């Protein structure tokens, strides 16, 4: 969390994350260059750079896309999610080297402007096997640039979380373009089916993880439709089902609600973090505040307000306890409205 | 996970259980990535052994021929090589020669010395006039008149791939196929003479032909759309200044991707002679 913007708020975790990330990038680069020079010593330096950066960037993109659903399926992956934007910016820089070298190699020093040549040299747009695949990579690079350039929280706050999130969902369009860039480019040259196997395996892993995370969420939402209703309140669970300092989530009447148990009390807030729409109900009470599992944004459970000097506010909900059952009123209060917590009877 | 083990990114350290888990994932990745890369590189299409002597200028002396394209005929006691001249970057040599001739007069049929960068492979040599007009070193008239003969070798109906010879014979690897298509289009558009790579009916080594029009005219622009893919064509063959020339009938060109299933018998190579 931050009030003033700094380029990066470093801590030991972030430093470690970046060290391992760049160690991994240089390790991958060294392995690729080593294997190429060993098995194909005739390769030119330009081809080596273009292929190495392509492999590393595409591999990083797969890792970036896998982290989201993996963190939804297993919270142990959350440390990878926290600094995912560092992965994204690094991936863009590597993809940029690939793009620049390719444009210089294949289009510069000719009779046409190099950028214009990307779009005009090969115009077989109607033939799949001859499709000008470089244009697909060019547009993917533009999307990756927009995402990297707006990755800082400054842009998140100024664009609003919804617009920012929508913009950053562009990563899936970029992935689709790059999938086709590889399929209609390099794989039209290489004649071994093993490369199709690798490309399709990558797609299968990414789509399966998203599907599994989606199924998990859908099951939770469907289960919530069978809850008992009375006097505007909805029965959620037995009080013992909510662990101390944790939450139970419920999705009713279009409201995504997290009910937290802390200090012998229960409070309910909107289950979506104001920062990057993280699942607050998977967070914890830390230092008396609800703490988002994604990036650690905090809110007071009674009124949904971030502790001063922060200004984010959540919708709040009425909660009551009847016969050790937790009931919640899904009609939301204004963001930041204090709601008296329901008190648990001491055992 | 206990309360103490809840992960918060802005804290200095992550919980030990997260640390152990992430460590295992990273060890797995550091083992899998080299195996994956090895697998990928192993199955890669091999590169040719063609060479581009980047950074090294070589002086060559021989008889310069304007036709069918700029060629330098270089002889020693044992052999004669017909070296294609090309320009710097993605350009042919014609404009450079024309600029040199404004100063030095017509070079066709004279003994000329050029300094440039050698490109060679598969029995073919090219010289890049790297320093443009400054690639010209000297020239002198020959004692005997050079006779530029054109030998007619008959008709030819076959298939092959149109290449940009500068990249294919050494500047780029790969310098052929889909990946290189855009670059080859730029090179031919810039005046580098197109070359047809052909596998002979009986044999496994490539033959290379300069590509010209039916009447020997330049067809660089007309063949751009067929570069980097397998095409069928009809042509007559002539031989001039050490190079076989395909005088191609542009209307006969058909990309193999355009064939319908019913036409597949056309692709039976045994029908061709």
Q: Is B14's pLDDT higher than 50?
A: yes
Burial class of B70 by CB neighbour count within 10 A (0 to 12, 13 to 18, 19+): buried
DSSP notation for A70-111: HHHH-GGGHHHHHTHHHHHHHHHHHHHHHHHHHHHHHHSSSS
pLDDT at A305: 96
Helix, strand or coil, per DSSP, at residue A68: helix
Q: Considering only residues 212 to 271 of chain B, which have any Cβ-Cβ distance to chain A shorter than 8 Å?
A: 225, 228-229, 255, 257
Domains of chain B: 51-140 (2.40.50), 150-271 (2.40.50)
The pairing of beta strand B124-128 with beta strand B80-86: parallel
**Domain contains A5:** no
Q: Does A135 touch chain B (CB under 8 A)?
A: no
Residues in chain B within 8 Å Cβ distance of A105: 172, 183
**Domain contains A3:** no
pLDDT at B266: 47
Interface contact B178-A185, CB threshold 8 A: yes
* Helices B177-189 and A84-107: angle between axes, nearest 10 degrees: 50
SS3 content of chain A, % helix, strand, coil (to 5): 55, 15, 30
| pLDDT grade for B262, boundaries at 50, 70 and 90 | very low
Interface contact A195-B43, CB threshold 8 A: yes
Q: Does B32 touch chain A (CB under 8 A)?
A: no
Residues in chain A within 8 Å Cβ distance of B173: 42-44, 47
Burial class of A210 by CB neighbour count within 10 A (0 to 12, 13 to 18, 19+): middle
Interface contact A189-B173, CB threshold 8 A: no
A117-126, A218-227, A330-339, B188-197: least confident range: A218-227
pLDDT at A314: 96
Q: What is the pLDDT of residues B189-242, one digit of tens each?
A: 999 999 999 977 676 789 999 999 999 999 999 999 999 888 999 999 999 999
User: Domain residues for A238?
Assistant: 229-343
Is A130 found in the same domain as A91? yes
| pLDDT grade for B261, boundaries at 50, 70 and 90 | very low
Q: Considering only residues 211 to 240 of chain A, which have any Cβ-Cβ distance to chain B shorter than 8 Å?
A: none
Mean residue pLDDT across chain B:
90
| pLDDT grade for B259, boundaries at 50, 70 and 90 | low
pLDDT at B267: 46
Q: What average pLDDT score do residues A228-233 get?
A: 84
| pLDDT grade for B264, boundaries at 50, 70 and 90 | very low
Q: Does A45 touch chain B (CB under 8 A)?
A: no
| pLDDT grade for B95, boundaries at 50, 70 and 90 | very high
Residue A214: count other Cβ atoms within 10 Å of its Cβ: 12
Query: Of A20, A105, A286, which is closest to B8 when you measure between CB atoms?
Result: A286
Q: What is the pLDDT of residues A100-156, one digit of tens each?
A: 999 999 999 999 999 999 999 999 888 888 899 999 999 999 999 999 999 988 888
Interface test with A, best of B8, B27, B120, B224 (most A CBs within 10 A): B8
**Domain contains A4:** no
Domain boundary, last residue among A220, A254, A285: A220
Is A216 found in the same domain as A233? no
CATH number at residue A315: 2.102.10.10
Q: What average pLDDT score do residues A54-79 get?
A: 95
| pLDDT grade for A10, boundaries at 50, 70 and 90 | confident
A174-183, B94-103, B260-269: least confident range: B260-269
Q: Is A42's pLDDT higher than 80?
A: yes
Distances (CA, A) of B31 to A28, A199, A247, B38: 11, 20, 38, 11
Task: Give the count of domains, chain A.
Answer: 2
Interface contact A105-B33, CB threshold 8 A: no
Residues in chain B within 8 Å Cβ distance of A42: 46-49, 173
Q: Does B2 touch chain A (CB under 8 A)?
A: no
A187-191, A275-279, B42-46, B264-268: least confident range: B264-268
Is A318 found in the same domain as A193? no
**Domain contains A6:** no
Interface contact A42-B1, CB threshold 8 A: no
- CA contacts within 13 A on the Cβ side of A256: 14
Is A185 found in the same domain as A314? no
Is A206 found in the same domain as A98? yes
Domain boundary, last residue among A169, A192, A220: A220
Is A184 found in the same domain as A87? yes
pLDDT at A4: 60
Is A28 found in the same domain as A149? yes
Interface contact A245-B3, CB threshold 8 A: yes
**Domain contains A86:** yes
The percent of residues above 90 in pLDDT, for chain B, comes to 74
Q: What is the pLDDT of residues B48-63, one digit of tens each?
A: 999 999 999 999 999 9
**Assembly ipTM:** 0.90
Residue of B nearest to A119 (CA): B182
**Rounded CA gap, A53 and A59, in Å?**
10
pLDDT at A8: 65
Residues in chain B within 8 Å Cβ distance of A111: 90-91, 186, 189-190
pLDDT at B77: 86
**Domain contains A186:** yes
Distances (CA, A) of B71 to B65, B107, B110, B193, B240: 5, 11, 12, 11, 10
Is A243 found in the same domain as A338? yes
**Rounded CA gap, B96 and B26, in Å?**
57
Could you tell me which residue, A12 or A316, shows the higher pLDDT?
Answer: A316
Interface contact A110-B47, CB threshold 8 A: no
**Rounded CA gap, B141 and A287, in Å?**
95
Interface contact A188-B178, CB threshold 8 A: yes
Q: Does B18 touch chain A (CB under 8 A)?
A: yes
C-beta of residue B7 within 8 angstroms of C-beta of residue A75:
yes
Is A182 found in the same domain as A305? no
pLDDT at B154: 84
Query: Of A27, A44, A76, which is closest to B18 when you measure between CB atoms?
Result: A76
Q: Does B40 touch chain A (CB under 8 A)?
A: yes
pLDDT at B150: 81
Q: Does A189 touch chain B (CB under 8 A)?
A: yes
Quote the minimal CA–CA distance from A168 to chain B in Å: 21
Q: Does B186 touch chain A (CB under 8 A)?
A: yes
Q: Does A291 touch chain B (CB under 8 A)?
A: yes
Interface contact B91-A111, CB threshold 8 A: yes
Q: Considering only residues 95 to 154 of chain B, which have any Cβ-Cβ distance to chain A shorter than 8 Å?
A: none
pLDDT at B146: 67
Q: What average pLDDT score do residues A234-238 get?
A: 93
Q: Is A273's pLDDT higher than 50?
A: yes
Mean residue pLDDT across chain A:
92
C-beta of residue B21 within 8 angstroms of C-beta of residue A173:
no
Domain boundary, last residue among A199, A220, A241: A220
**Domain contains A107:** yes
Query: Of A77, A82, A117, which is closest to B9 when you measure between CB atoms?
Result: A82
Is A202 found in the same domain as A165? yes
Interface contact B17-A55, CB threshold 8 A: no
Q: Does A263 touch chain B (CB under 8 A)?
A: no
Is A235 found in the same domain as A216? no
Is A265 found in the same domain as A210? no
Q: What is the pLDDT of residues B111-165, one digit of tens each?
A: 999 999 999 999 999 999 999 999 999 999 987 776 678 888 888 788 899 999 9
**Domain contains A65:** yes
Quote the minimal CA–CA distance from A109 to chain B in Å: 5
C-beta of residue B160 within 8 angstroms of C-beta of residue B198:
yes
| pLDDT grade for B166, boundaries at 50, 70 and 90 | very high
């Amino acid at each position: 969390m931050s009030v003033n913007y700094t380029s990066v708020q470093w801590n030991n975790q972030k430093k470690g994350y970046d060290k391992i990330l760049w160690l991994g990038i240089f390790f991958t680069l060294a392995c690729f260059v080593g294997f190429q020079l060993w098995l194909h010593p005739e390769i030119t330096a330009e081809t080596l750079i273009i292929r190495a950066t392509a492999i590393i960037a595409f591999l990083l993109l797969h890792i970036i896309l896998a982290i989201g659903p993996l963190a939804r399926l297993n919270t142990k992956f959350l440390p990878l999610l926290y600094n995912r934007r560092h992965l994204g910016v690094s991936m863009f820089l590597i993809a940029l080297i690939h793009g620049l070298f390719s444009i210089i190699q294949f289009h510069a020093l000719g009779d046409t402007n190099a950028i214009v040549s990307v779009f005009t040299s090969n115009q077989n747009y109607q033939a799949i096997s001859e499709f000008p695949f470089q244009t697909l990579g060019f547009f993917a690079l533009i999307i990756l640039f927009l995402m990297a350039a707006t990755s800082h929280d400054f842009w998140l706050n100024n664009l609003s979380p919804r617009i920012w999130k929508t913009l950053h969902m562009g990563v899936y369009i970029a992935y689709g373009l790059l999938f086709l860039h590889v399929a209609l480019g390099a794989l039209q040259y290489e004649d071994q089916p093993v490369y199709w196997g690798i490309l399709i395996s990558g797609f299968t892993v990414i789509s399966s993880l998203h599907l599994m995370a989606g199924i998990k969420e859908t099951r939770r939402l469907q289960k919530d439709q069978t809850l008992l209703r009375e006097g505007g309140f909805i029965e959620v669970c037995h009080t013992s089902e909510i662990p101390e300092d944790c939450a139970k989530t419920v999705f009713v009447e279009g409201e995504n609600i997290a009910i937290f148990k802390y200090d012998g009390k229960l409070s309910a807030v909107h289950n979506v973090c104001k920062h990057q729409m993280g699942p607050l109900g998977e967070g914890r009470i830390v230092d008396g505040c609800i703490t988002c599992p994604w990036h650690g944004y905090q809110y007071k459970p009674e009124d949904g307000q971030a502790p001063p000097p922060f200004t984010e506010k959540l919708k709040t909900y009425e909660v009551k306890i009847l016969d050790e059952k937790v009931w919640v009123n899904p009609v939301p209060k204004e963001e930041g409205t204090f709601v008296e917590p329901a008190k648990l009877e001491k055992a | 996970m206990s309360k103490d083990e809840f992960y918060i990114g802005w804290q200095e350290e992550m919980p030990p259980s997260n640390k152990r888990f992430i460590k295992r994932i990273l060890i797995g990745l550091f083992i899998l990535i080299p195996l994956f890369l090895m697998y990928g590189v192993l199955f890669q299409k091999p590169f040719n052994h063609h060479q581009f002597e980047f950074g090294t200028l070589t002086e060559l002396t021989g008889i310069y021929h304007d036709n069918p394209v700029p060629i330098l005929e270089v002889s020693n006691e044992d052999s004669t090589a017909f070296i294609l001249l090309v320009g710097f970057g993605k350009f042919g040599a014609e404009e450079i020669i024309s600029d040199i001739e404004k100063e030095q007069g017509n070079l066709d049929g004279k003994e000329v010395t050029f300094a440039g960068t050698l490109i060679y492979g598969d029995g073919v040599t090219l010289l890049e006039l790297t320093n443009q007009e400054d690639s010209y070193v000297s020239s002198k008239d020959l004692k005997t008149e050079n006779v530029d003969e054109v030998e007619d070798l008959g008709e030819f109906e076959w298939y092959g791939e149109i290449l940009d010879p500068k990249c294919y014979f050494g500047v780029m690897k790969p310098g052929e196929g889909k990946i290189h298509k855009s670059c080859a289009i730029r090179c031919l558009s810039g005046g580098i003479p197109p070359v047809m790579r052909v596998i002979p009916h009986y044999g496994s080594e490539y033959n290379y032909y300069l590509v010209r029009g039916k009447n020997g005219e330049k067809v660089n622009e007309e063949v751009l759309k067929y570069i980097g893919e397998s095409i069928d064509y009809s042509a007559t063959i002539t031989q001039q200044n050490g190079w076989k020339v395909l005088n191609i009938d542009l209307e006969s060109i058909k990309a193999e991707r355009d064939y319908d299933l019913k036409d597949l018998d056309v692709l039976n190579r045994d029908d061709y002679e």
